[in-house]
Structure 1
Amino acid sequence: MSNEKQFETEAIRTQLERTGFLEHTSPIYLTSSFVFEDAEDMRASFAEEKERNIYSRFTNPNTSEFVDKICKMEGAEAGYAFATGMSAVFSTFAALLKSGDHIVSARSIFGSTHSLFTKYLPKWQITTSYFNSNEPETIESFITPNTKILYAESPTNPAIDVIDLEILGNIAKKHNLILIIDNCFATPYLQQPIKFGAHLVIHSATKLIDGQGRVLGGVTVGNANLIREIYLFSRNTGPALSPFNAWMLSKSLETLAVRVDKHCENAMKVAEFLENHPQVNWVKYPFLKSHPQYEVAKKQMKLGGNIVAFELKGGIEAGRKFLNAIKMCSLSANLGDTRTIVTHPASTTHHSLAEADRLIVNITDGLVRISVGLEHVDDIIQDLQQALI
């Protein structure tokens, strides 16, 4: 009989060794540093001849427990936890790249990641080429002798395109590239990119992993040799996750599966409702059969996630009118909360982009993104219904 436990069990039963108090749940280790038994213990610890906690900027029992859980969920060898999702993204790239290196990235990525690629990494002569998420067959045309990393998010934000991770894995292997996948929208419960050839997986734990809009956090997991470089960079530059936030996120993982199951159930019903509404041009949800990458989504995802995108008839003004008519759902740029959140990218998060630039990443004037929460689905749909009149 196999000793391998199921996802839900690992999320609950992976924890620190109990202290002398025999606590049922892991305590919070709110300490900046750790003491040593004697001079030899201190020397051996700093020489890394033994595994132990030295300073919470390096490791802490709470961050170690959180990372261990994510590693087991993703099938990763090692990981490091960060203060935010963007500190995970930046530190991962900064640790692995040098001046003159090149990135090939999907065009549909988080706005701050795009700014990192276009505004900050070029300061160190690190360049990026973009491929369209719906055209993975073009990726190889962007690869140069200096290309080191292939990067993508799937599903994408905010247009909910799905990229075939198996294709990315094969290209990365063929060209000896490091494949990095932002798995934030899917979570490790719905998708494990390492199975398809990813070397590293990044999460903004602020989103569904926390799931209740309480704390910030990020994590990168994957190949142990690559994580070693990220760890060494991070222990010197200081983007570490706080012990308290790590404790919160580790506890949140215990309910990830049941929460995401319900998120997905609600999201599917919301998507089906919107698909039949006369004020809606189209709806994108990975597990709707009308989604252009439906078969890809079914291949690599367990369920469709909690994000639904749809296009209102009437463009930007219709989007603003819709937001103003919302009564129960929240107007916020966050996602993955227990509360349903509605965003109109063209008039808010992406308002500074020219229409032509937005259309390249499928952000039309009427696009609305819904992060479907855990309220009763009838109440969510009723709020959307009255706002669409």
Structure 2
Amino acid sequence: MIRIAIDAMGGDFGPKAIIPALDMVLQGRPEVHFLVYGDETKIKKYLSKYKSLSQHVTIFHTDKMVQNDDKPSTALRASKGSGMRMAIEAVKKGEAEAIVSAGNTGALMAMAKIVLKTVPGIHRPAIASVMPGIHGDTIMLDLGANVLVDADTLVQFAVLGSVFARANKARDQQSTQDDKPPSVGLLNIGSEETKGPEHVREAGEILSRIDFPGEYKGFVEGNDITRGTVDVIVSDGYAGNISLKTAEGVGHLVRTYLKESFKSSFLSKVGAFFAYFALKSLRERMDPRRYNGGVFLGLNGVCIKSHGGADALSFSCAVILAVRLARQGYIEQIARDIGHLSDQENFLSEDR
């Protein structure tokens, strides 16, 4: 059995979107059980529509919740007894293998760091997500947790991203992780070794000579993100977050332009009719809902942040990602690889 803790009151829609999402996750995954935290009356209102799901749900009532506009410090002080805090504590106690929330990002990260703590040797946790590319999906991190980082932290991010990439490739219980190491690139303003900030160049030099679970390919640029040039792209949280939001904006722009173009004339509408299946496939491949779920890498537990505006399909994808990582035991793999990294050199010392 795989147990997933769910913060049911987080996000814009709460149980209205989350309960149908859990039913979607259950299809083909009968071994999953959900520990759902939130207002029992509101949860049962939607759960009553899914009889088969009810057998896979345990509700833990609380009427206390973290507000979307709460500052992390405010949320922390008032977190005891909230659905978000209780769900995180379930992972800490070993009652669940992962936690998924669509709630306040800052509050979730702050609580998770305090309750779960980081894997020994990890300086800072990072937010990672899967991004679609021409040649395959790309894992990108950090997406906003750490604005300023040093070379050692970027090296650790490369390890975290590599382990995540391997676990993400195992799509189901029967899958085994690919023996081929994930390719890793550092986001920079050019591919030449002399370009970019000093800490990025230093991280590149370290990655080129150490043994870690990925295969370092050098510097990559912004246009490599959607090409799928490498399996993992590493950056600081400032550049990573801007890149993510830019990609989301471009995707929305393309969808808007296509819709306007096919509605512009009678002939365009006829063309859209004949291209229906191709357009449907394109829409599905570019649908951001299917890539929902930011993973807080480096914590002593699987913690997934869903988009606050997630609908049922979007939230289900975040939960499926949590199930996938819980199956693969990637937390233990991170601990082993970080330990191996520390054994090689003393460049990860606390006083650097």
What is the TM-score when the length of structure 2 is the normalising length?
Answer: 0.30
What is the TM-score when the length of structure 1 is the normalising length?
Answer: 0.28
